[in-house]
Amino acid sequence: MVTTLLAPVGDAPWSTAEFESRLRAVPEERYHDRHAFNIRMHSGALSRAELRCWIANRFHYQRHIPVKDALITAKLPTPALRRMWLRRIQEHDGLDEGEGGIERWLRLGQAAGLDRESLLRGDAVLPGVRLAVDGYVNFCRLRPPLEAVAASLTALAAPDLMRTCVDAFERHYPWIEPDGLACFRSRISEGGRDSSEALRLVLSWACTRDDQERAVAALRFKCDVLWALLDAVAHAHCPEGS
């Protein structure tokens, strides 16, 4: 049949409500709050060494967020969109020296007894974490803006996880100075705004079923990045009792 030689007609796009619900289902199913290491962290089961290992490796992820956000900014076609995305870079890098999310993560590390210079050198960064972070940065470098922005939609689930983190750290790890937890607290409000903006863009940009499926796949990929980071930390050798 001649028609089989033609490109197949794609499926009809999902309705906006259906598309949004499929996006929201991704972090509900596979966000890293379900990872065994996070569950142990939140139940207070981690040793000091394990918690420090997580902080040092999560810091490696955090410090690359403005890098991937600058790569996304370079893909956005209008001053208005770039202004919106630039705010994310500013939240992490701060408006002045000693401010911003990266600085707050360094302070969490110090509050947990880690050396600031060692964190900055990345001494404790595990190979799997380095690969996961590189993978995410390269995804944002190489994929279209729809997918790079859709990948950021893990922020839909971040505020709840940050609240859980604050509660768990206060209850189970009182040896960490409470001031160190500012990195979680600030993301509770920032994460909500970031995800609303990104969701609005993704819903409006994805016109075809193919676009919508690629956006859902991008969000699944991002969940895999966060999951792989915890896999690496969970399997690291952390000396007991330290």
- How many C-beta neighbours within 10 Å does residue 90 have? 14
Q: End-to-end CA distance of the chain: give it in Å, rounded.
A: 70
Helix, strand, coil % (nearest 5) of the chain? 75, 0, 25
Q: How many residues line the site for its own copies (CB under 8 A)?
A: 24
**How far apart are CB 63 and its own copies at their closest, in Å?**
9
**How far apart are CB 73 and its own copies at their closest, in Å?**
4
- How far is the C-alpha of 122 from the C-alpha of 106, rounded, in Å? 12
Per-residue contact flags (x/-) with its own copies for residues 68 to 97, judged by CB under 8 A: x-xx-xx----xx-xx--x--xx-xxxxxx
Is the CB of 123 or the CB of 170 nearer to its own copies?
123
- How many C-beta neighbours within 10 Å does residue 241 have? 6
Buried b (16+ CB within 10 A) or exposed e, 101-129: bbbbbbbbbbbbebeeeebeeeebbbebb
Is the CB of 93 or the CB of 194 nearer to its own copies?
93
**How far apart are CB 102 and its own copies at their closest, in Å?**
6
**How far apart are CB 93 and its own copies at their closest, in Å?**
4
DSSP 4: G
Buried b (16+ CB within 10 A) or exposed e, 146-179: bbbbbbbbbbbbbbebbeebbebbeebbeebeee
**How far apart are CB 61 and its own copies at their closest, in Å?**
15
Residue in the block written with tokens 């690496």: 232
Per-residue contact flags (x/-) with its own copies for residues 113 to 142, judged by CB under 8 A: ----------------------------x-
Is the CB of 67 or the CB of 166 nearer to its own copies?
67
Per-residue contact flags (x/-) with its own copies for residues 33 to 72, judged by CB under 8 A: ---------------------------------xxx-xx-
Residues binding its own copies (CB under 8 A):
66-68, 70-71, 73-74, 79-80, 82-83, 86, 89-90, 92-97, 100, 102-103, 141
